[in-house]
Amino acid sequence: MKKVHNRYKKTVELVGKGGIVWLPVPGEIDRAVLEKFHEREYLREINFDEDEIARIDYTIAASELHGVEEYLDRGGLFFLGGGFHHETPKTGTFGRFNDVGIVLKHLEERFPRRMVIDLDCHHGNGLEIGFYDDPTVLYFSMHREDLWPHTGKIVDLGSIRAFGFNVNYPLRKDVEPEEYLGALSALLEYLVSGFRPEFIVYIAGADIDREDGFAGLSEFGVEEIIRRDLVVREHIRKANVPHLVVLGGGWGVNAPEIHYNTWRVFAGDLPGKRLQVYRGGLPPDRLRKIKFIREVTAGVFSRKPGKGIYSTFAKG
């Protein structure tokens, strides 16, 4: 865990005290809030006295909830931590609490339509499992297809009740930045305008950096990741809804700088002129994937209440 602490510490030093940024601090979570996402039996088995990871995860989730309550009325919050998208009893991962899942469940009455933009290099299998049958949450992930946990296939689109509300876009390790940014922009344009989320969580993984020790996309460095963040910022601003930005993964030497740049993007400190979204033609395999996603979800986001199995969130 020392490596995680160092990453956060260095990012804190870069960010300083400017902007709306929330740091992990001790706090409490109402048991009923935890049980909205995590099963009661699972929670009973956690021994906080002996489990350091559980204590750290709990602190992060509690801090994130507190920050959301304090700052969402201002539009958005950058949380210096979090993005633990694997954690559920069914995933067998190293973590204990899924902070994003807990926040999304906590806000379900305030924001009936919530969206996750997960750009960590790994697929968020915990979030997919947690919301696979929930048509009030749209989970969108772009991740490297050959990495653990080896989930997040393009055909995994949600249960019958929530079909189309789980969208995966698997990537090759050597995907070109222009391909990535073009696909990201096209899909966000389609998904955000169609779903009309009232709250968005962005998991801004730094682990797509080529220097990351556990993941990475071979053609991505610090500059390309800034362009990624600018694309996401553009679409969140268009949506004009409260949003939460969390760090996600990142284990390489550039991780603190990448997290710092993400904060600068959302604080408005990096100019939009660096937003150079790829406008050219995408390769045929990319176009086929985007076409497939659009075709199988066609009409899902516009059904009237009472007009089929996809109508839970629709307002017309």
Give 85 or 263, the one with higher predicted confidence.
263
What is the three-state SS of 97-114? CCHHHHHHHHCCCCCCCE
pLDDT at residue 232 greater than cutoff 70: yes
Candidate from 12-21, 28-37, 212-221, 293-302 with smallest mean pLDDT:
12-21
Residue 212 tokens, joined: 């990351």
Share of the chain above pLDDT 90, in %: 48
| Angstrom distance (rounded) from CA 163 to CA 160 | 5
Bridge partners (DSSP) listed for residue 199: 114
| Domain ranges, ordered by start, for the chain | 2-270
Name the CATH code of domain 2-270 (choices 3.40.50.300, 3.30.530.20, 3.40.800.20, 2.102.10.10).
3.40.800.20
User: What digits encode the pLDDT tens for the residues 40-82?
Assistant: 888 888 888 888 888 888 888 888 888 888 877 778 888 887 8
Number of H helices, E strands in the chain: 10, 7
CA 302 to each of CA 110, 192, 199: distance values in angstroms, whole numbers, following the listed order: 21, 12, 18
Q: What is the pLDDT of residue 121?
A: 96
CA 175 to each of CA 67, 203, 216, 251, 288: distance values in angstroms, whole numbers, following the listed order: 35, 20, 11, 20, 15
Q: What is the pLDDT of residue 223?
A: 94
Residue 61 tokens, joined: 């989730």
User: What digits encode the pLDDT tens for the residues 253-274?
Assistant: 999 999 989 988 988 766 554 4
pLDDT at residue 111 greater than cutoff 70: yes
Residue 299 tokens, joined: 């009409």
Q: What is the pLDDT of residue 105?
A: 95
In this structure, how many other beta carbons lie within 10 angstroms of the beta carbon of residue 291?
Answer: 10
| Angstrom distance (rounded) from CA 122 to CA 141 | 9
Q: What is the pLDDT of residue 55?
A: 86
Average pLDDT over residues 293-315: 57
User: What digits encode the pLDDT tens for the residues 153-199?
Assistant: 999 999 999 999 999 999 999 999 999 999 999 999 999 999 999 99
Q: Is 79 left (phi over 0), alpha (psi -120 to 50) or beta?
A: beta
| Angstrom distance (rounded) from CA 112 to CA 198 | 7
Q: What is the pLDDT of residue 193?
A: 94
Q: What is the pLDDT of residue 56?
A: 82
Q: What is the pLDDT of residue 270?
A: 63
C-alpha closest to that of 154 among 114, 83, 145? 145
Q: What is the pLDDT of residue 274?
A: 45
Question: Which helix (H) or strand (E) is 246 found in, with range?
Answer: strand 243-246
| C-alpha R_g of the chain | 18
Q: What is the pLDDT of residue 15?
A: 66
**Ordered DSSP codes for 160-183:** STTTTSEEEEEE-TT--HHHHHHH
The per-residue pLDDT of the chain, averaged, comes to 83
